[in-house]
């Protein structure tokens, strides 16, 4: 339901200005739905491809060539979560997060990459 997804985050959750930017980005692709209450994310066929950390950092899952180019171009780094590096995820700089038009091509690249992966078998999963 739309009202639930647009609800303000609880205390200690994602900074609201970052959440608005993330939701604006997700809305650029009509095939993608933002999920997650405390940690907003997007996924397809059981594979997550973007999420917004509680600190308001956007993580984007990219294929190897695009990931290397992104890291170099934006002087970005790989994401870390719970003390572990996530090798397929780049941490999107705040300056790029606020530029939806520029960021959209990477979001779409991430979506296409995940579409190319074999769906994860999940028990009792609804069909996408």
- Residue percentage of the chain with pLDDT more than 70: 85
Q: pLDDT tens-digit profile of 50-70? A: 999 999 999 999 999 999 999
Tokens of 108: 């779409």
12: buried, middle or exposed (CB in 10 Å: 19+, 13-18, 0-12)?
Answer: exposed
Find tokens 């180019």 and name the residue. Answer: 69
Find tokens 């979001």 and name the residue. Answer: 107
Phi, psi of 104 (to 5 degrees): -55, -40
Phi, psi of 49 (to 5 degrees): -130, -5
Q: pLDDT tens-digit profile of 92-103? A: 999 999 999 999
Model confidence, pTM = 0.84
Q: Are 22 and 64 in contact (CB under 8 A)?
A: no
The pLDDT, as a whole number, for residue 41 is 98
Q: pLDDT tens-digit profile of 12-29? A: 678 999 999 999 999 999
Beta bridge mates, 44: 47
- What is the secondary structure of 94-107 as a DSSP string? HHHHT-HHHHHHHH
Q: Are 97 and 21 in contact (CB under 8 A)?
A: yes
Q: For residue 65, give every residue at least 6 positions away whose Cβ sits within 8 Å of its Cβ, in sequence order, or none.
A: none
Helix (H, G, I), strand (E, B) or coil at 81: strand
The pLDDT, as a whole number, for residue 126 is 54
Confidence of residue 82 (pLDDT cuts 50, 70, 90): confident
The pLDDT, as a whole number, for residue 101 is 96
Confidence of residue 81 (pLDDT cuts 50, 70, 90): confident
């Amino acid at each position: 339901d739309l009202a639930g997804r647009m609800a303000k985050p609880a205390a200690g959750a994602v900074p609201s200005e970052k959440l608005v930017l993330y939701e604006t980005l997700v809305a650029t692709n009509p095939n993608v739905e933002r999920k997650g209450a405390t940690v907003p994310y997007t996924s397809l066929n059981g594979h997550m491809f973007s999420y917004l950390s509680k600190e308001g950092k956007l993580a984007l899952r990219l294929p190897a060539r695009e990931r290397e180019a992104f890291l170099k171009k934006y002087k970005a780094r790989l994401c870390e979560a719970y003390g572990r590096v996530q090798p397929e995820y780049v941490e999107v700089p705040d300056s790029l997060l606020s530029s939806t038009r520029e960021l959209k091509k990477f979001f779409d690249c991430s979506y296409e990459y995940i579409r190319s992966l074999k769906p994860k078998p999940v028990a009792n999963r609804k069909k996408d």
